[in-house]
Amino acid sequence: MKQPPHGESPAPPTDTAPPTDTAAFTATDTFTSAAPPPHTGTPPPVNTPPLPPPAMRRPAAAPPATERTDPDALAAADRARLIHPHLPGGVTERVVMVEGSGCRLRDAHGREYLDATGGLMLAHVGHGRRELVEAAAGQMARLEYYTSFHEFTNEPSIRLAERLVDLAPAPMERVYVTSGGAEAVDDALRMARFYHHRRGEPDRTWVLARHLGYHGVTYGGAAVTGMPMFHQGFGPMMPGVRHLTPPMPSHPEVYGGGPDRVLPARVART
Ligand SMILES: Cc1ncc(COP(=O)(O)O)c(C=O)c1O
């Protein structure tokens, strides 16, 4: 499918010369500048901006948030210091979770909850699993982090990738690790476009998503999310996205559609 002209998108990208497989990435040496002068302990130069006067610094919270256990104080600190995705500004209620075991959670008031969703659909093995604690603590003690940029890698990523490929259906054979769902969606969008760019079709950039689909809080994830509230006020959204009817034609009212509004996206085929 070539991307036809469409209202929300600018002209197709101009980088129409796709790289060939032989076009090697050449790294430039950024370490050629002269070595910095040795540190002598002298005071900073006079043009260094002065620190703000003490009155402009925030007063320290008393007691510090890290020592609070009172549920109302925790909720107040949350309201003052945390920004929540998907929470309208006027909502003051907070549910401060403090403990989990299996499928149960306990909040700061001591109330118990059945975690029927596994948090945001990701704690499927339950909370407080000893073997997860031990595996994470053991790895953190050995090597808590290293990047997979360039040729760098690490043992847990390699082992996880092998295990995932064993479990995945063919022809999946390689793993790209991200920190969460929205980042994965953004990376998938970029990979799909890059794939076509590399095979000589850089104009092949349409992304088809579903009305009502949710794909996360990043720019690309929100663009493919099929709910207007994720777009209003954040524009211009990523171009080249079309939302199609969700697979629930028996209930068009839930996506504001009807028989006449089914398949709103018209995508030219070549
Ligand atoms: C289908 C889908 N994509 C993306 C996301 C975003 O994942 P995350 O919150 O880990 O960024 C979610 C989260 O619910 C999801 O359900």
In a domain, 254, yes or no: yes
Q: Which of 215, 219, 225, 227 to mutate to test the pocket of ligand 1 (most atoms within 8 A of CB)?
A: 215
In a domain, 233, yes or no: yes
DSSP state of 99: E
Model pLDDT, residue 53: 66
In a domain, 3, yes or no: no
Model pLDDT, residue 18: 37
In a domain, 17, yes or no: no
In a domain, 59, yes or no: no
What would the two tokens of residue 2 be?
């070539």
- Looking up tokens 């890290």 gives 66
Can you tell me which atom of ligand 1 is nearest the CA of 122?
A: 10
In a domain, 252, yes or no: yes
Structural domains of the chain, count = 1
Expressed in angstroms and rounded, the spacing between residue 94 Cα and the centre of ligand 1 is 22
Model pLDDT, residue 47: 64
Instruction: Give the dihedral of Cα atoms 194, 187, 227, 97; nearest 10 deg.
Output: 180
CB atoms within 10 A of CB 257: 19
Alpha helices in the chain (DSSP H): 71-81, 118-121, 130-142, 155-167, 181-198, 219-224
Model pLDDT, residue 249: 66
In a domain, 78, yes or no: no
What is the domain range of residue 231?
Answer: 181-270
Consecutive H or E run containing 210: strand 207-210
In a domain, 107, yes or no: no
- Reading the chain (270 residues) residue by residue, the pLDDT tens digits are 444 444 444 444 433 333 333 333 333 333 334 554 555 555 555 566 676 666 666 666 665 655 667 999 999 999 999 999 999 888 999 999 999 999 999 999 999 999 999 999 999 999 999 999 999 999 999 999 999 999 999 999 999 999 999 999 999 999 999 999 999 999 999 999 999 999 999 999 999 999 889 999 999 999 999 999 999 999 999 999 999 888 776 666 666 555 444 444 333 333
Model pLDDT, residue 222: 97
Expressed in angstroms and rounded, the spacing between residue 89 Cα and the centre of ligand 1 is 22
Model pLDDT, residue 80: 92
Q: What is the pTM of this model?
A: 0.71
Can you tell me which atom of ligand 1 is nearest the CA of 221?
A: 4
> Given CA atoms 190, 195, 199, 205 in this order, what sign does their dihedral have?
negative
Expressed in angstroms and rounded, the spacing between residue 160 Cα and the centre of ligand 1 is 20
Cα atoms in the Cβ-side hemisphere of radius 13 Å centred on 13: 17
Q: How far apart are CA 251 and CA 227, in angstroms?
A: 16
Can you tell me which atom of ligand 1 is nearest the CA of 216?
A: 6
Lining residues, ligand 1, CB within 6 Å: 120-121, 180-182, 185, 214-216, 221
Model pLDDT, residue 248: 72
